[in-house]
Protein backbone atom coordinates (compact mmCIF):
# COMPACT_ATOMS: atom_id res chain seq x y z
CA UNK A 1 0.00 0.00 0.00
CA UNK A 2 1.27 3.46 -0.86
CA UNK A 3 -0.14 6.58 0.68
CA UNK A 4 0.01 9.81 -1.20
CA UNK A 5 -0.84 13.37 -0.63
CA UNK A 6 -2.77 16.41 -1.63
CA UNK A 7 -3.01 19.61 0.33
CA UNK A 8 -6.54 19.52 1.63
CA UNK A 9 -8.27 22.21 3.64
CA UNK A 10 -7.18 20.60 6.91
CA UNK A 11 -3.62 19.82 5.84
CA UNK A 12 -0.72 20.96 7.93
CA UNK A 13 1.89 23.27 6.44
CA UNK A 14 4.41 20.86 4.85
CA UNK A 15 7.17 23.45 5.20
CA UNK A 16 6.88 23.98 8.97
CA UNK A 17 9.37 22.33 11.31
CA UNK A 18 11.65 21.12 8.52
CA UNK A 19 14.56 21.03 10.93
CA UNK A 20 13.30 17.65 12.11
CA UNK A 21 14.86 14.65 10.36
CA UNK A 22 16.92 16.10 7.51
CA UNK A 23 17.48 13.24 5.10
CA UNK A 24 20.54 14.46 3.25
CA UNK A 25 23.54 16.61 4.05
CA UNK A 26 23.08 20.22 2.97
CA UNK A 27 24.10 21.16 -0.57
CA UNK A 28 23.55 23.93 -3.07
CA UNK A 29 21.03 23.16 -5.81
CA UNK A 30 21.17 25.37 -8.88
CA UNK A 31 19.41 22.85 -11.17
CA UNK A 32 18.42 19.18 -11.61
CA UNK A 33 22.06 18.10 -11.93
CA UNK A 34 22.75 19.73 -8.56
CA UNK A 35 19.78 17.91 -7.03
CA UNK A 36 20.90 14.53 -8.38
CA UNK A 37 24.55 15.06 -7.41
CA UNK A 38 23.61 16.11 -3.88
CA UNK A 39 20.97 13.42 -3.44
CA UNK A 40 23.35 10.66 -4.55
CA UNK A 41 26.37 12.05 -2.65
CA UNK A 42 25.64 9.87 0.39
CA UNK A 43 23.89 6.72 -0.86
CA UNK A 44 21.71 5.14 1.83
CA UNK A 45 21.06 1.79 0.14
CA UNK A 46 22.26 -0.53 -2.62
CA UNK A 47 20.08 1.06 -5.30
CA UNK A 48 21.26 4.60 -4.51
CA UNK A 49 24.85 3.33 -4.45
CA UNK A 50 24.39 1.89 -7.93
CA UNK A 51 22.84 5.13 -9.22
CA UNK A 52 25.64 7.15 -7.64
CA UNK A 53 28.23 5.13 -9.57
CA UNK A 54 26.36 5.51 -12.86
CA UNK A 55 25.88 9.26 -12.25
CA UNK A 56 29.60 9.76 -11.54
CA UNK A 57 30.50 7.95 -14.77
CA UNK A 58 27.97 10.11 -16.64
CA UNK A 59 29.43 13.33 -15.19
CA UNK A 60 32.95 12.25 -16.20
CA UNK A 61 31.74 11.31 -19.71
CA UNK A 62 32.85 7.72 -19.07
CA UNK A 63 31.25 4.85 -20.95
CA UNK A 64 28.25 3.28 -19.27
CA UNK A 65 27.42 -0.42 -19.45
CA UNK A 66 25.68 -1.35 -22.70
CA UNK A 67 22.31 -1.75 -20.94
CA UNK A 68 22.57 1.55 -19.00
CA UNK A 69 21.21 4.91 -20.09
CA UNK A 70 21.12 8.31 -18.37
CA UNK A 71 18.80 11.03 -19.72
CA UNK A 72 19.26 14.58 -18.47
CA UNK A 73 16.73 17.25 -19.42
CA UNK A 74 18.11 20.33 -17.66
CA UNK A 75 15.55 22.67 -19.20
CA UNK A 76 12.66 20.73 -17.66
CA UNK A 77 14.41 19.63 -14.44
CA UNK A 78 14.26 15.89 -15.15
CA UNK A 79 16.74 12.99 -15.02
CA UNK A 80 16.18 9.28 -15.66
CA UNK A 81 18.38 6.24 -15.21
CA UNK A 82 17.59 3.04 -17.11
CA UNK A 83 19.23 -0.36 -16.80
CA UNK A 84 18.30 -3.58 -18.51
CA UNK A 85 16.59 -5.60 -19.55
CA UNK A 86 18.94 -8.35 -18.39
CA UNK A 87 18.79 -12.05 -19.35
CA UNK A 88 15.84 -12.58 -16.98
CA UNK A 89 13.96 -9.63 -18.48
CA UNK A 90 14.50 -7.36 -15.44
CA UNK A 91 14.57 -3.63 -16.15
CA UNK A 92 14.87 -0.71 -13.75
CA UNK A 93 13.97 2.91 -14.39
CA UNK A 94 14.58 5.65 -11.85
CA UNK A 95 13.22 9.12 -12.54
CA UNK A 96 14.05 12.30 -10.63
CA UNK A 97 12.60 15.76 -11.02
CA UNK A 98 11.80 18.89 -9.04
CA UNK A 99 9.13 21.53 -8.75
CA UNK A 100 9.32 25.11 -7.53
CA UNK A 101 6.97 25.78 -4.65
CA UNK A 102 4.58 28.73 -4.68
CA UNK A 103 6.17 30.20 -1.54
CA UNK A 104 9.46 30.80 -3.41
CA UNK A 105 11.34 29.42 -0.40
CA UNK A 106 11.26 25.72 -1.19
CA UNK A 107 11.43 23.17 -3.97
CA UNK A 108 9.92 19.71 -4.09
CA UNK A 109 12.19 16.89 -5.27
CA UNK A 110 10.90 13.45 -6.27
CA UNK A 111 12.48 10.09 -6.99
CA UNK A 112 10.41 7.39 -8.68
CA UNK A 113 11.78 3.84 -8.89
CA UNK A 114 10.09 1.46 -11.33
CA UNK A 115 11.07 -2.18 -11.77
CA UNK A 116 9.70 -4.47 -14.47
CA UNK A 117 10.25 -8.05 -15.51
CA UNK A 118 9.33 -9.03 -19.06
CA UNK A 119 7.48 -5.71 -19.36
CA UNK A 120 5.28 -6.19 -16.28
CA UNK A 121 5.71 -4.09 -13.11
CA UNK A 122 7.26 -5.92 -10.17
CA UNK A 123 7.75 -4.57 -6.69
CA UNK A 124 11.14 -4.54 -5.05
CA UNK A 125 12.36 -3.06 -1.79
CA UNK A 126 13.36 0.06 -3.74
CA UNK A 127 10.20 0.53 -5.86
CA UNK A 128 8.04 3.54 -5.18
CA UNK A 129 7.71 7.28 -5.16
CA UNK A 130 9.75 9.30 -2.67
CA UNK A 131 9.09 13.01 -2.08
CA UNK A 132 11.42 15.53 -0.42
CA UNK A 133 11.30 19.25 0.36
CA UNK A 134 14.39 21.35 -0.33
CA UNK A 135 14.77 24.48 1.81
CA UNK A 136 16.43 27.16 -0.34
CA UNK A 137 17.72 29.12 2.69
CA UNK A 138 19.41 26.23 4.50
CA UNK A 139 20.18 24.29 1.29
CA UNK A 140 18.94 21.12 2.97
CA UNK A 141 16.75 18.33 1.64
CA UNK A 142 14.12 16.82 3.95
CA UNK A 143 12.06 13.68 3.51
CA UNK A 144 8.37 14.59 3.48
CA UNK A 145 6.13 12.65 5.82
CA UNK A 146 2.82 12.28 4.00
CA UNK A 147 1.04 13.54 7.13
CA UNK A 148 2.71 16.91 6.60
CA UNK A 149 1.32 17.09 3.09
CA UNK A 150 -2.21 16.21 4.19
CA UNK A 151 -3.13 12.80 2.85
CA UNK A 152 -6.43 13.03 1.00
CA UNK A 153 -6.31 9.79 -0.97
CA UNK A 154 -5.06 6.29 -0.31
CA UNK A 155 -3.66 4.49 -3.30
CA UNK A 156 -3.94 0.71 -2.94
CA UNK A 157 -2.71 -2.30 -4.82
CA UNK A 158 -0.53 -2.49 -7.86
CA UNK A 159 0.31 1.04 -8.88
CA UNK A 160 3.16 2.79 -10.59
CA UNK A 161 3.98 6.41 -11.24
CA UNK A 162 5.50 8.46 -14.03
CA UNK A 163 7.18 11.74 -13.17
CA UNK A 164 6.71 14.67 -15.55
CA UNK A 165 9.50 15.37 -18.00
CA UNK A 166 7.39 18.27 -19.18
CA UNK A 167 4.65 19.91 -17.17
CA UNK A 168 4.15 19.38 -13.46
CA UNK A 169 1.70 16.53 -12.92
CA UNK A 170 2.51 12.93 -11.93
CA UNK A 171 0.71 10.13 -13.75
CA UNK A 172 -0.60 7.25 -11.63
CA UNK A 173 -1.17 3.86 -13.27
CA UNK A 174 -3.31 1.28 -11.46
CA UNK A 175 -3.05 -2.48 -11.97
CA UNK A 176 -6.61 -2.59 -13.30
CA UNK A 177 -5.63 -0.33 -16.22
CA UNK A 178 -7.09 2.91 -14.90
CA UNK A 179 -5.00 6.06 -14.81
CA UNK A 180 -5.21 9.18 -12.67
CA UNK A 181 -3.15 12.33 -12.29
CA UNK A 182 -1.53 13.85 -9.23
CA UNK A 183 -1.87 17.53 -10.08
CA UNK A 184 0.70 19.98 -8.64
CA UNK A 185 -0.64 23.38 -7.56
CA UNK A 186 2.55 24.91 -6.17
CA UNK A 187 1.74 23.78 -2.63
CA UNK A 188 0.90 20.10 -2.99
CA UNK A 189 -0.82 17.47 -5.09
CA UNK A 190 -4.44 16.51 -5.61
CA UNK A 191 -5.54 13.25 -7.19
CA UNK A 192 -7.69 13.75 -10.30
CA UNK A 193 -9.16 11.53 -12.97
CA UNK A 194 -7.11 11.29 -16.16
CA UNK A 195 -7.46 14.36 -18.35
- Residues 81 and 72: their CA atoms lie apart, in Å, by 9
Q: Does the pLDDT value for residue 172 go beyond 60?
A: yes
Range of the domain at 179: 2-12+21-193
Please give the span between the terminal C-alpha atoms of the chain, in angstroms, as a whole number. 24
- Residue range 141-162, pLDDT digits in tens: 887 765 444 334 445 456 788 9
Helix axes 32-39, 46-59, angle to 10 degrees: 130
- Residue range 105-137, pLDDT digits in tens: 888 889 999 998 998 888 888 888 888 888 888
DSSP code string of 46-59: HHHHHHHHHHHHHH
State how many domains the chain has: 1
- Cβ atoms of residues 152 and 6 within 8 Å: yes
Give percent of the chain with pLDDT exceeding 90: 32
Q: What does the pLDDT read at residue 42?
A: 80
Amino acid sequence: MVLFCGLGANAQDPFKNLTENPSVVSYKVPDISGFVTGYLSDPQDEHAGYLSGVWKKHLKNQALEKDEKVTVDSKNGYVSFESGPDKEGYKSVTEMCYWNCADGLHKLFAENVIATQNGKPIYTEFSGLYIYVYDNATQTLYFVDQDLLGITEELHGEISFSLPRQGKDIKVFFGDGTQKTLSWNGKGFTLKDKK
